[in-house]
Amino acid sequence: MINEKNYSDLFKKLVKAYYEDVFQETIDEILSRKEIDKKKFAKVVSALCGVEVSFSKNFSQELKSAIENYKESHRVVINTHSCIKKIVLKSMVKLFAKTLAPSMLLLLEKMNMV
């Protein structure tokens, strides 16, 4: 069963892979594991990336294309479990924490977001 920590770790791994230009390879490597439910994985990863891509044999390529074609008018996270939304929000806050005003950081700390 995937829990909040697993989603958080997966999100961090995907962000790192995307910026290191090994995103497709990372997705393909995860999908090659026998214990992975490919359809569920595709749904979760798509949600974490803010797009909707169904599983196919070209899933990693289609996912990367969907991310690159992403339009600002779309929501960051599509309708999905609230725990994923919380993880994405926390990860984004941590990512941009250095650029936030100290008063905003204090508020986010009180909300347990940092």
Q: How far apart are CA 75 and CA 50, in angstroms?
A: 7
Q: Which residues contact 105 (CB under 8 A, 6 or more apart)?
A: 97, 114
- pLDDT attached to residue 55: 93
From the list 113, 82, 70, the residue with the least C-alpha distance to 4 is 82
Using alpha carbons only, what angle is made at residue 37 by residues 31 and 40, rounded to the nearest 5 degrees? 100
Domain count, the chain: 1
User: Does this model's pTM top 0.75?
Assistant: no
The SS3 of residue 82 is helix
- pLDDT attached to residue 7: 74
pLDDT digit string (tens) for the chain, length 114 residues: 455 567 778 888 888 888 888 989 999 998 998 888 888 888 888 887 778 899 999 999 999 888 888 754 455 545 555 666 667 667 766 666 666 666 666 666 666 655
The SS3 of residue 95 is helix
In which domain, by residue range, is 53 found?
4-110
Quote the DSSP letter at residue 31. Answer: H
Contact 6, 87 (CB under 8 A): no
